[in-house]
Each structure stands twice: as C-alpha cells, then as structure tokens.
Amino acid sequence: MTAYILKRLLATIPVMAVVALFVFLLLHLSPGDPAAIIAGDEATPAAIESIRQKLGLDRPIWEQFGIYVANLLRGDLGTSIFSNLPVLTLVKQRLEPTVVLAVCTLLVAVTFAVPMGVLAAWKARTAIDRVIMGFSVLGFAVPVFLIGYLLIWLFAIELRWLPVQGYRPLAEGVGQTARSIVLPAFALGMVYMALIARMTRASMLEVLSEDYIRTARAKGATTTAMLLHHALRNAAVPIVTVIGIGLTLLISGVVITETVFNIPGLGRLTVDAILKRDYPIIQGLIILFAMVKVLLNLMIDISYVFFDPRIRY
Amino acid sequence: MSSSANWGQTPFIAADRPGGRALDWLRRNPTIVAGSSILVFFVMVALFAPWIAGDPLGFDPLYRLKRPSAEFWFGTDQLGRDVFSRVVYGTRISLIVGISVAAIATVIGLLIGVLCGYYQRVDEIVMRVMDGMMAIPAILLAIALITLMKASLIIVIVAISIPEIPRVVRLVRSVVLTVRGLPYIEAAVSTGTRGLRIMSRHILPSTVAPLIVQATYVCSAAVLTEAGLSFLGAGTPPEIPSWGNVIATGRAYFQLAPWIIFFPGLMLALAVLAINLVGDGLRDSLDPRIARRL
C-alpha cells in the first residue's frame, strides 16, 4: 500500500512538470513581447522595461525556466506585478472563502444528490425516476450564473431571507458565514448534484440486479436496510470517484460563482488578475489549481481501498 | 470487416438503409428529435437575425433599463439597447463558437489520438503532455491564453478548443487500443497492409460513433465556456453582442433590471440543453457500450 502511494506520488511529478513548462511557455510562445502585452496598450517604454526586468525576461529562455522551476520548488509562485506581494501571500488571504464555498458545495450536493440517485434507482422507470433524471439533465444545462442570479432574485430580493451578495468570514461567527454561503453553495452545487445523482442511480441500478440483493430481500431485510446497507455500500466506488472528479470540475464554477456573489476568494483573485493583466498571479493560480486537481485524483485512487476491500495494491 | 466485435458498425453509420427505417429510428429516440428541433430553431434565429430583430448595437438613452414590453420584448439595458436584438444576434456567436470548437477539438484530438494509439513511442510522450493539460482547469487555461493575445472571436475559439483536445485524445486512443488487438487488424497486418491504410480503412471507422457523441458534449461545453469567459470579462470582445457579454453588462444593474441577465441566460440554458439532449440520445442509440465509456 505504501509502495503504491509512493509510486503514485512520483507519477505526479511529470504531470506537474508539464504544467510548469506549459505555464512558462504560455508567456514566451505568445506572439509579441510578453512585457508589452502585460503592460497594456498605454504603457511607456520605461514601464515595459521595468516589467521585463521584474520578470527576468531579459535573460536567456532556458535560464528563465530554470529560475522559474527552482522558485516553484521553494514554494515561490511568483510576485504580483501590481501589488508587489508574493502570489502565495495573496492566495493565503483569499483562501478561506473559497475553501468554505467548496466544502459547503460538497456537503449540499452529496446530501441531496445521493438520496435522489438511490430513490431514482429504486423507483426506476417510474414518474419519480423521470422527475429526478429530468432535474439532472437540467442541472447540466443551466449555467451557474443563471442559477445564481435566480436564487439571489428569489431568496434575497423577493423574500429577503438571505443577504444578496458578499461573504462573512468565519471569525465573525459561523451563523453569519452560513447565511452568506448558502445561495452560492446551491448555485455552484447544481451541476455537481446532477452529476452525482446520475452516477448514484447508474451504480445502484447495476448493484440492485445482483443476486445478493435478492438474497437480502429473501432473508426479510427491510427496504431501507437493503438499499442502504446492501446496495449503496456496494455501489459506493463509482459514486466516490464521481464525487472526487466533480470536485475538480467545480474549479471553473468557483471563479464564476464568486463573481456572481461577490465573494473575495481565489476566483475573484483570478478575475481581478485578468482585468489588471497581472500575469504572475494567473500563472501561480494555474499551478496551484492544477496541483489541487492532481492531488485530489490521487486521493480518489487511494480511497478505493477503503471503500472496496477487494481492491489491493 | 464483417467482424461482429467491431462496434463501429452501428445503425447510425449504415446510411444506406431505406428512409422508412430512418423515421423509425427517430421515433425510438424522442430526445434526439426534441434536441435537434430546438437546435434547428436556434440555427434559424441565427441565420435570419437581421429580419427578426433590430440593430443590436443601436442605443437610445431615453429608453434606459426599460422593463420587457410589447416594444422591447426582453427589455432594454443601461444604454437603452434592445436586449431582444442583442440576444438574437448573440445566437450567432454561441453557435459559431460551439460548432467551431467541436470541429477543431475533434479533428486535432482524432489525429493525435490515432497516432498515440497506433505508435507506442509517440504515445508515452504525448500522453504525459495530455495529462499535464488535463490537470489545468479548462477555464483557467482559456483565460491565460486569451489574456496573452488580443481578444478576438478566433482567439476565443482557439483558447476554448485547446483544453478540450486531451479528452478527445484519450477517448480516441482508448478505442484504437481496443480495436488494435482485434483479429481483423491482425489479419490486415499479416496480409501486408501498410500502417497508414490500416489506420484509415480499419481503425478510423471504429472511432466515428464515440467521436460524434463526444463532439456534441464538447460543443455544449464550449457554448457554456464562451458565456462564462465573456461573463468574467475575459472572452469575446465586449462590443460583440454574445450571450455572455449581454449577461456581463447586466451584472451591475441586476437589482434594477434582472431581465438583462435572465433572457440571455435562459437562451443559453435552452441551447445547451438541446445539444446535450442530442448527445444523450446519440449515446444511447449508437451503442450501449459507449454509454458506459462516457
């Protein structure tokens, strides 16, 4: 097991190396002078020159890549052009809202989607199944900003139950944070729910046709016991996989959701960086998000062992 | 080529069957009919935009932020522009982006995928590059590409296509690897058929069915991504009325004029729903084995 984890950890190195090379080349293979592009249309030659020096663009390209990788290995994701702060410091400042949003979205989606999927599989080919699967098809189609604005309009503007926008940090009390994160979590969670519900249904349907389910029923197991204990546990591996994969897919949704709800998280940091063409921040965030994605995938693979004892490495 | 194990031979590709059976096939696949009907509607709207709607760029400060009415079906925005006209013209952008990205990603992905599946030496290196690309969230990769170049519709299309390529490559490669081991390929090799011919005549046909399904999903993802990028201010140039741009202009006025966001948002959802319905229908009817793969 330890050997397997070690092997998988080593396998992430080439992937991250490709990401680093890609992010690095992105700036250098683009047509035109990267310093001039970053400086914008109205920059003076002096400003362009200062950016060129700040990014080390005046050195040979292989030397630049060497410095870039060495910095990354030391945990230095680069320095913002405008605020002069290390990207890592900016990330730390913006981390809390994004993590809270991701965790709440995960909770909301799993809590609703797994029971929906189980129900749809149990009542397969009935009206209940059709309604749940119809919801799932819609969930894939309706963009996160439309859901977000609909939720704001209904629950914040019309009913006045929840705040319109903004984020209250955990330091101000969990209750306040929860109130400010409910709508974003549901907006972002819709696609995720659709994905999990669909996979839960498919996986449950496969398991429900197995012999041991018939045995369980013959033994007199109640429907709830049969569904939860016998079926869901055995259907868990694909569901856990899709929950993990879904989490990595949420990242683009996070950027949009934080913009809709004005949440000062990593997504807003990205958007602000785009508007100011603060390229080191965008590069740093790409590396960071890619790393999160790679580690999540690793954790999914390792978690199989815990959910299905038949799998051994 | 009569091998029953070759799952490229699906009813869909057998185009030479009589028309009556085609109708029959449609009747058995209501989702495809529903989805493509909506898509035909959108194509019509895009083609006949100048006859349906007025000038999408014309503005009149006297008519700022007007509610939807008989005159302005979808209301007006903060400059007094007709949201209906802008949404109608936005259909063009969304369709162009969706179709172009699907075409580019599928063709390039197919080429790389077939080469990878067939030549093991290429495979090792290329698949590591694909793994790296897939580790980067699609929207961030697109944003990075767009911010570096002067924003234009073509750049947006290219930037959305690049992150979609690895998924197509993986799909094609897995099909090629499966087919490669089948007896009829071995037979072709043993009779001295050259690599290029084996690929084009014996392997490529098997990739058609899963690729068509994948292309529809790439298409709907591209339409959503374009809107998302424009919404964030990193997409299609703001002077072009795309659905995402219309929604982006509505952001600051949401409490006063929610219609600026709702109407283009609904159109977007409807278009994506239609493409997905066609994709789901094709997936289920082309081959049950693809259903499990995707």
DSSP readout, chain B? ---TT-TT--TTT-TTS-HHHHHHHHHH-HHHHHHHHHHHHHHHHHHTHHHHS--SS---GGGTTPPP-SSSTT-B-TT--BHHHHHHHHHHHHHHHHHHHHHHHHHHHHHHHHHHHH-HHHHHHHHHHHHHHHHS-HHHHHHHHHHHS---HHHHHHHHHHHHHHHHHHHHHHHHHHHHTSHHHHHHHHTT--HHHIIIIIIHHHHHHHHHHHHHHHHHHHHHHHHHHHHHTSSS-TTS--HHHHHHHHGGGTTT-THHHHHHHHHHHHHHHHHHHHHHHHHHHH-HHHHHH-
CA B211, CA A68: separation in Å to the nearest integer? 38
pLDDT of residue B144: 84
Inter-chain residue contact A140 with B231, CB threshold 8 Å: no
Lowest mean per-residue pLDDT among A91-105, A185-199, A252-266, B3-17: B3-17
User: What percent of chain B is modeled with pLDDT above 70?
Assistant: 90
Cα separation values, A51 from A22, A38, A62, A89, B218, Å: 21, 8, 19, 20, 38
From the number of C-beta atoms within 10 Å of its C-beta (0-12, 13-18, 19+), residue B186 rates as exposed
Residue ranges in B14-137 assigned as alpha helix (H)? 19-28, 30-47, 49-52, 83-118, 120-135
Inter-chain residue contact B234 with A26, CB threshold 8 Å: no
User: What percent of chain B is modeled with pLDDT above 90?
Assistant: 29
Average of per-residue pLDDT values in chain A = 86
pLDDT of residue B13: 47
**Number of residues assigned to chain B:** 294
**B136 closest CB neighbour out of A259, A271, A290:** A290
Coil/strand/helix, residue B76: strand
A169-178 mean pLDDT: 85
CA A16, CA B253: separation in Å to the nearest integer? 42
Which are the contacts of B234, defined by CB distance < 8 A and separation ≥ 6?
Answer: A271, A274, B142, B143, B146, B147, B151
A254's tokens: 């996070």
B149's tokens: 């170049």
pLDDT of residue B11: 46
The answer to whether position B238 is within a domain reads yes
Whether residue B41 contacts residue B280, with contact meaning beta carbons closer than 8 Å, is answered with no
The answer to whether position B140 is within a domain reads yes
The answer to whether position B180 is within a domain reads yes
B70's tokens: 């008989």
The answer to whether position B13 is within a domain reads no
CATH code of residue B261: 1.10.3720.10
Whether B233 contacts chain A with CB within 8 A: yes
Give the pLDDT confidence of A19-41 residue by residue, as tens digits.
Answer: 999 888 877 766 666 677 777 76
**Number of domains present in the structure of chain B:** 1
CA A33, CA A88: separation in Å to the nearest integer? 26
Region for residue A125 given its phi and psi (left: phi exceeds 0; alpha: psi -120 to 50; beta: otherwise): left
The answer to whether residue B293 scores a pLDDT higher than 70 is: no
The answer to whether position B199 is within a domain reads yes
The answer to whether position B93 is within a domain reads yes
Inter-chain residue contact B265 with A143, CB threshold 8 Å: yes
Inter-chain residue contact A26 with B144, CB threshold 8 Å: yes
Per-residue pLDDT band for A312 (boundaries 50, 70, 90) equals: low
HSE at residue A68, side-chain half, CA atoms within 13 A, is: 25
The answer to whether position B24 is within a domain reads no
B108 CA: distance to closest CA in chain A (Å):
18
Per-residue pLDDT band for B275 (boundaries 50, 70, 90) equals: very high
Whether residue A258 contacts residue A267, with contact meaning beta carbons closer than 8 Å, is answered with yes
B124's tokens: 């090792």
> What is the DSSP code string of A229-282?
IIIIHHTHHHHHHHHHHHHHHHHHHHHHHHHHTT--SHHHHHHHHHHHT-HHHH
B25-29 mean pLDDT: 80
CA B173, CA B261: separation in Å to the nearest integer? 41
Q: Which domain holds residue B213?
A: 41-55+74-293
Whether B277 contacts chain A with CB within 8 A: yes
List all residues of chain B from 123 to 152 with a beta carbon under 8 Å from chain A: 128-129, 131-133, 135-141, 143-145, 147-149
**A275 closest CB neighbour out of B141, B233, B258:** B233
Residue for token pair 């040979």: A60
Which are the contacts of B50, defined by CB distance < 8 A and separation ≥ 6?
Answer: none
A–B interface: beta-carbon pairs under 8 A:
140
Inter-chain residue contact B137 with A289, CB threshold 8 Å: yes
The answer to whether residue B108 scores a pLDDT higher than 90 is: yes
For residue A152, the 8-state DSSP code is I
B75-95 mean pLDDT: 84
pLDDT of residue A264: 93
pLDDT of residue B39: 94
Coil/strand/helix, residue A73: helix
Inter-chain residue contact B137 with A271, CB threshold 8 Å: no
Give the pLDDT confidence of A260-296 residue by residue, as tens digits.
Answer: 999 999 999 988 888 887 888 988 999 999 998 898 8
A282 CA: distance to closest CA in chain B (Å):
7
CA B117, CA B108: separation in Å to the nearest integer? 14
ipTM: 0.85
| Structural domains in chain A, sorted by start | 96-265 (1.10.3720.10)
The answer to whether position B160 is within a domain reads yes
Top pLDDT among B177 and A33 is at B177
Which are the contacts of B106, defined by CB distance < 8 A and separation ≥ 6?
Answer: B168, B211, B214, B215, B218
Chain A residues within an 8 Å CB radius of B148: 26-27, 30, 34, 37, 279
pLDDT of residue B5: 42
Whether B30 contacts chain A with CB within 8 A: no
Chain B residues within an 8 Å CB radius of A16: 132, 135
Cα separation values, B169 from B53, B64, B279, Å: 41, 49, 18
The answer to whether residue B10 scores a pLDDT higher than 60 is: no
Lowest mean per-residue pLDDT among A43-52, A254-263, B97-106, B223-232: A43-52
Whether residue A307 contacts residue A68, with contact meaning beta carbons closer than 8 Å, is answered with no
pLDDT of residue B160: 93
Top pLDDT among B221 and B286 is at B221
